[in-house]
Each structure stands twice: as C-alpha cells, then as structure tokens.
Amino acid sequence: MRTEEMEVAASIDSLSKVMSFIEENMRISCWPDSEINKVLVCAEEIFVNIASYSYVESYSAIGKEGLCQIKVDTDIDARYMIRITFKDQGMPFNPLSMDSPDITLSADDREIGGLGILMVRKMMDDVSYSYEYESNILTMVKYW
C-alpha cells in the first residue's frame, strides 16, 4: 500500500493542485486514463463542494482558516484500488444523508442539488462519511 497526503486551502484556487496530486498518484500506479478520468471527476465534485460550502463566513470571522487534507492510498497487489479521503474542519455536513434527486423529472421540475453526489455514488465503488474530532471525513474507493 502506498500512501500520500497533502493539505491545501479549501479554496477553488487549490483545485488544480488537488487534481494533479490525485492524478500523479494514479499514474504512478499505472491506472488507465479512463479510470483516472472517472476518479478525477468525482474528486473534483467533492473538493469543490468542500471549498464552496464547508467553511462559511462565520468561520472566517473568528479567524479559522479553511483547510482540506487529502489522503490517497493506492494498492496494486491483489487488485488495483485507490482510496481518497477528504478531511476538513468546516461545518458538519453528510452529503450521503441527502435524498437522491429524482432524475426521471425534467430539470425544470427537479430541485437544485444532489446530482454531483449521485454521480460520485454511481462512479465510485464505495463512498462513506463520518464526523470525528470536529472533522468531516469523506472517503471514496475505486477498484479496477
């Protein structure tokens, strides 16, 4: 098992660093482009949500800097596996607790939100959330 970690500002400005970090770890493990692209789409969705919603203005007002830790575990021994864990100390929020949007409705009739996490659930093999030690922890796993 190979593990790499990084910490970045929970800001859209950090997105390219996060994507490069994840892609580099997958390329080192020789993942095919098609699978890399799936994982990157999901990682982008999760990180953009953290950057956009986790740290609200009240956190900034008390001087708390919004950070996100990203941990990537890769394993190619028995089966190709990547596990990406996003951890932030923003407002507690479990995106997996939200009802899935009704995709049978037209875009005009459907409530806004929820499509991104639905996509993550469908494209990844496992997605989990926990709130521990004042931290949101979202983990997603993909096998190939």
Give the rounded distance of the alpha carbon of 60 from its chain centre.
22
How many domains does the chain fold into? 1
What are the tens digits of pLDDT across the range 36-78? 999 999 999 999 999 988 887 656 555 566 899 999 999 988 6
The CATH number linked to 98 is 3.30.565.10
Owning domain of residue 45: 2-143
Q: Which residues pair with 3 in a beta bridge?
A: 73
Give the rounded distance of the alpha carbon of 96 from its chain centre.
12
What are the tens digits of pLDDT across the range 62-121? 556 689 999 999 998 868 999 999 999 998 999 988 765 455 545 555 455 446 788 999
Cβ atoms of 92 and 131 closer than 8 Å: yes
Q: pLDDT > 70: what percent of the chain?
A: 81
Cβ atoms of 95 and 131 closer than 8 Å: no
